[in-house]
Chains A and B, each alone.
Chain A
């Protein structure tokens, strides 16, 4: 079974500063993928970034980067130069390798980020 743990129910950050949202995971699968999604107050789920378990480099997408530490089973999201529009709920998720035939995403409980001016 897969499990995602997000220990920060809420975070505050000043505009233009960087913030790290924590995510740890547990799985017995040798190959897996890790995701971060953003959910603004309007409710939609917006894909941010993906990291494969065998990727050699940490994923980056614009202001988002994923600090992947496989030995520690952590996949923290780093948002640089925070903007007011970054205020939202952030979910970490994982899924098994497609080789397993299982594609369901397992989500964490989320972290609510508030960016202050």
Chain B
């Protein structure tokens, strides 16, 4: 069964450093998403991406964040100048393009620890 994959599974970085989280969505999916979950809290939407551009973003997704689809398979989230409060689990998700399909398939997540 096709699945969303994410690398690395765990990333430790120092405050102020840049990190890139990588995702490979399901191959025939057209919509891609990033969510984050601070430890013990609910999952929060960051951004959605379609047709090589951001289609929706939350207020969390400020200038510190950027997304990119550098090739036909990868989808990345870059966090510039990380802060302690960026420590969280980051989930990538993807969904089909048809309007009748609501389901978003989540990857296993990348746990980001900022020290």
> B107 to chain A: which residues have CB within 8 Å?
44
A107 touches B43 (CB 8 A): yes
The count of chain B contact residues (Cβ–Cβ below 8 Å) is 26
Shortest distance in angstroms between A18's beta carbon and chain B's nearest beta carbon?
25
Determine the chain A residues whose CB is within 8 A of the CB of B103 once the complex forms: 35, 47, 50
Proximity string of chain A (31-44) to chain B, C-beta cutoff 8 Å, 1 when within and 0 when not: 00101010000111
A102 near B56 (CB under 8 angstroms)?
A: yes
Does the CB pair B42–A108 fall under 8 Å?
Answer: yes
User: Known contacts A98-B99, A99-B99, A110-B42: does B111 contact A105 (CB below 8 Å)?
Assistant: no
Number of interface residues of A (CB under 8 A): 26
* Chain A positions within 8 Å of B106 at CB level: 37, 44-47
Least Cβ distance of A82 to chain B in Å?
23
Instruction: Among A44, A95, A105, A107, point to the contact of B108 (Cβ < 8 A).
Output: A44
Q: Is the interface of B mostly helix, strand, loop or mixed?
A: strand
| Min CB gap B29→A, angstroms | 12
Contact between A43 and B43, CB atoms less than 8 A apart:
no
Min CB distance A30 to B, Å, is 15
Scan residues 36-68 of chain B and give those whose CB is less than 8 A from a CB of chain A. Answer: 41-45, 48, 55-56, 58
Q: Is B31 an interface residue (CB 8 A)?
A: yes
Closest to B48 in A: A103
Which B residues touch A80, using CB under 8 A? Answer: none
CB of B31, distance to nearest CB on chain A (Å): 6
Most chain A C-beta atoms within 10 Å of own C-beta, residue among B41, B99, B106, B107: B106
Alpha-carbon gap, A95 to B111, bound state (A) = 25
**Contact sample, A vs B, 29 pairs, CB 8 Å cutoff:** A33-B102, A37-B106, A42-B108, A43-B111, A44-B106, A44-B107, A45-B93, A45-B106, A45-B109, A46-B106, A50-B102, A52-B102, A91-B42, A93-B43, A95-B102, A101-B55, A101-B56, A103-B31, A103-B33, A103-B56, A103-B95, A104-B45, A104-B48, A104-B58, A105-B35, A105-B43, A105-B104, A106-B45, A107-B42
What is A's interface to B at a CB cutoff of 8 Å? 33, 35, 37, 42-47, 50, 52, 91, 93, 95, 98-99, 101-110
